[in-house]
Amino acid sequence: DANESRVNETLLKHKMDLSSVNLYPDNYAIKLRKKIAYYQEVSFEEVMVGAGSSELLELVVKTFVNPNDYVLSVEPSFVMYKKYTMLSNGQYIAVPAKNNYETIVDDIINKAKEINPKIIFLCTPNNPTGFILKQQEVIRLLENVNAIVVVDEAYMEFAYTNESVIEYINTYPNLIVNRTFSKAFAIAGARLGYFIANKELIETLFTAKTPYSVNGLTQELGILSLDNLDYLNNNVNSTKKQKTFLSKELETLGLTCYESAGNFLYVQFDAYDIAKKLKEKRILIRSFNNGYYRITVGTNVENIQLINGIKE
């Protein structure tokens, strides 16, 4: 129910260097940021790391949103956008996303003209629906709003087509792209995420960032992950295969599965609460209490256990 990936066996073979654990970590994570910059083909000054994407998403709200300012997103989407807005005493507005994500940009532009939000959060592939927007649609949004646009690409590595807008960070000064090591890189427990944006935006965010938030061991794990990209590629490929398998099996059992570009499936089943029934079998899926569910694509063994649990 948390969209985690299988264990990265390569990382388990490495021993962590604890010789400097008595010292504060590099506050600016320069070595790690340079690795990320090389991976994403940007400058390290255009990268900021945080203790998971959650810290960075909260940071951008904390930096730019004053009380009663508007933050705009879609619904359903990542629940923390709303929570961080409320914590900053901002006003959170969402436009419906469930069945019309292909037209969502028009809806966001229209609403933005009405309320003039400080920040727009756009999750693509969207969590929990799995819908993805074409790159040109995101660009159209950037060209028609005045807000800071945070494009949350936490699941982009799993997408069947790369629609990332990272290459446009210097074309659109209001663009921030969010990425994470929790999903495709499979180190959710280490808590490591990163922003990519133009240098000026990154410098502004640093003025409000908590010092030393990314510990030294997490920085080292991030570097090791980027030095061993075979796991990433294998994980993405196996997840795509298992997603196809799982989707077909769930459809056979009477569940409606929406096409997903993430490492999860967004499904509908109205007959009864399958999440409650599965929990009795020690299988957890995410329930939205309205007949919709989000199911993480697991290993073949895990997926078969899920299928058998639903059959039972």
Tokens at residue 26, please?
């590099």
What integer pLDDT is reported at residue 101 of this predicted model? Answer: 74
Q: Which residues pair with 266 in a beta bridge?
A: 258, 294
Q: What is the full DSSP assignment across 8-29?
A: -HHHHTSPP--TTTTS---TT-
What integer pLDDT is reported at residue 99 of this predicted model? Answer: 67
Query: H-helix or E-strand containing 296?
Result: strand 292-296
Q: pTM of the predicted model, to two decimals?
A: 0.95
- Does the structure show a pLDDT above 90 at 107? yes
First CA to last CA distance, the chain: 19
209: number of Cβ within 10 Å: 20
Tokens at residue 83, please?
């929570």
β-pairing, 175-180 vs 148-152, is parallel
- Does the structure show a pLDDT above 90 at 13? no
Average pLDDT over residues 267-276: 92
Residue 17 banded pLDDT, cuts 50, 70, 90: confident
Give the tens place of pLDDT for each residue, 153-183.
Answer: 999 999 998 999 999 999 999 999 999 999 9
Residue of 284, 292, 290 lying closest to 265 (CA atoms): 292
Residue of 214, 216, 195 lying closest to 59 (CA atoms): 195
What integer pLDDT is reported at residue 97 of this predicted model? Answer: 84
* 178 and 53 Cβ atoms separated by less than 8 Å: yes
Give the tens place of pLDDT for each residue, 185-237.
Answer: 999 999 999 999 999 999 999 999 999 999 999 999 999 999 989 999 999 99
Residue 16 banded pLDDT, cuts 50, 70, 90: confident
Say what percent of the chain tops pLDDT 90: 91
What integer pLDDT is reported at residue 217 of this predicted model? Answer: 95
* 67 and 88 Cβ atoms separated by less than 8 Å: yes
96: number of Cβ within 10 Å: 12
What integer pLDDT is reported at residue 175 of this predicted model? Answer: 98
